[in-house]
Structure 1
Amino acid sequence: MTPEQCKAARELLGWHAERLGIMAGASYHTVRDFERQARRTLPRTIDAIRAALEAAGVEFISDGSDKPGVRLRKASE
C-alpha cells in the first residue's frame, strides 16, 4: 500500500485520519505522517492500516503498472 492509496482509500470511506488511526490501532499522527511520507512507518503499522481499510470494504488494485489504485468492494462481495 502506498501513501497515496491510503489517502485515497480513506477519502472513499469518508474517514478522517483520526478515525483510521483508531480503527488500525495507530495514532492520528502516524496515519498523517505515513500519507505525507514525513517519516518512516513500520511495516506492521502499514499492515494494520491496510487491514482496517480492507475490513471497511476497500480493495487495493494494481494492474502490474506503476499506477496502483483503490476501489470499494461491491456490496455482494
Structure 2
Amino acid sequence: MIIPEQIRGARAMLGLTQAELAKSAGISTTGLNNIERGSADPKASTLRAIQAALENAGIIFQSDGELIAGGAGVRLARLKE
C-alpha cells in the first residue's frame, strides 16, 4: 500500500492540488488532507483509488525492494518520445 509521503510527493511532482487529486480519486478533499497528514486510517479501497488516479496521471510507485537505498518512493513515468 502507498503511504502519505508517497501521495504528497507524487502530487507535488504532478503539480496537482489536493482538490484536483481528490476529485480524480473520487474522495473528498478533507479526506485526502487527513490521509496525507497521517491523521486518518483509510480503507484499502481508498488508497487504491488514490494510487490509480496518480498512476493514470503518470506516476510510478516504487516499493522498498525496488530501491537501492531502501524506503518507498515515487517517480514520474518516462514519457514516450
TM > 0.5 fold call = yes
Which residue is 1:2 aligned to? 3
Q: TM-score, normalised by structure 1?
A: 0.92
Displacement over 3 Å in runs of 4+: none
Which residue is 1:19 aligned to? 20
Aligned length: 77
When residues 61 and 19 of structure 1 are mapped into structure 2, their CA distance, relative to the original with a 3 A threshold, is same
Match for 2:75 among 68, 71, 75? 71
The percentage of counterpart residues that share the same residue type is 40
Residue ranges of structure 1 left out of the alignment (5+ in a row): none
Equivalent position amino acid for 1:42 in 2: K
